[in-house]
Chains A and B, each alone.
Chain A
Amino acid sequence: DAGVIQSPRHEVTEMGQEVTLRCKPISGHNSLFWYRQTMMRGLELLIYFNNNVPIDDSGMPEDRFSAKMPNASFSTLKIQPSEPRDSAVYFCASSFQASGGEETQYFGPGTRLLVL
């Protein structure tokens, strides 16, 4: 299994530009999570999907952030317009949710975003 795949691995952009981060979850997993990690705030959940449906987006910082999951094998996180304070590592994770069962999340390698 290839694990969770994220692209790009690194992104440097200028303030005001649109940034799109991509994620391919592990095949067969039905839940997908977007996290942001910074030194100051640690690992923060932004949004998660279950069976391609957004369940909780309360962690999305503001309207500049949006996420989609058009099918079971692909998700995007978009920032438009980007700001320097968005600089962070963005992780995608996936899990298989079974009723009452353990829901171990498996993380992708992350996208390191730097907004100048």
Chain B
Amino acid sequence: GQNIDQPTEMTATEGAIVQINCTYQTSGFNGLFWYQQHAGEAPTFLSYNVLDGLEEKGRFSSFLSRSKGYSYLLLKELQMKDSASYLCATDQTGANNLFFGTGTRLTVIP
């Protein structure tokens, strides 16, 4: 079976750092994706982790622990435009479909 848990909503202040957590139970787990979705728009790819550890891409970093079934997305130097939903998704070995969590809606306030 598959299950993904993320907080439903988070609020953070402009210029701050926020960490969005994701826990998963996925049979045949292969890797974990993070997507960003602004209101009324399509999801866009942010990151993909297969190996344990932290991967950094500018202001955004993503971490994976395969043994703990845990990932987080770290956003630094928050900007107002970072207000969006952040979707955690897993893929499985031998299958090319993704299973998405319900997303975390992040609101950045001045």
Contacts and interface: CB of A to CB of B under 8 A. Distances in A.
A109 B45 contact: no
Interface string B39-64: 00111110010100000000000000
A42 B96 contact: no
Chain B: number of interface residues, binned into ranges: 20 to 34
Interface stretch (A15-23, A60-68, A70-78, A98-106): A98-106
Contacts of B96: 31, 48, 50, 55, 95, 97, 103
B80 interface: no
B25 to A, nearest CB: 17
Contacts, number: 50
Contacts of A31: 96
Mostly, the A contact residues are strand
B103 A104 contact: no
A102 B48 contact: yes
Contacts of A97: 96
6 contacts: A33-B97, A43-B43, A56-B95, A102-B31, A104-B45, A106-B45
Interface of B: 31, 33, 41-45, 48, 50, 87, 91, 95-103
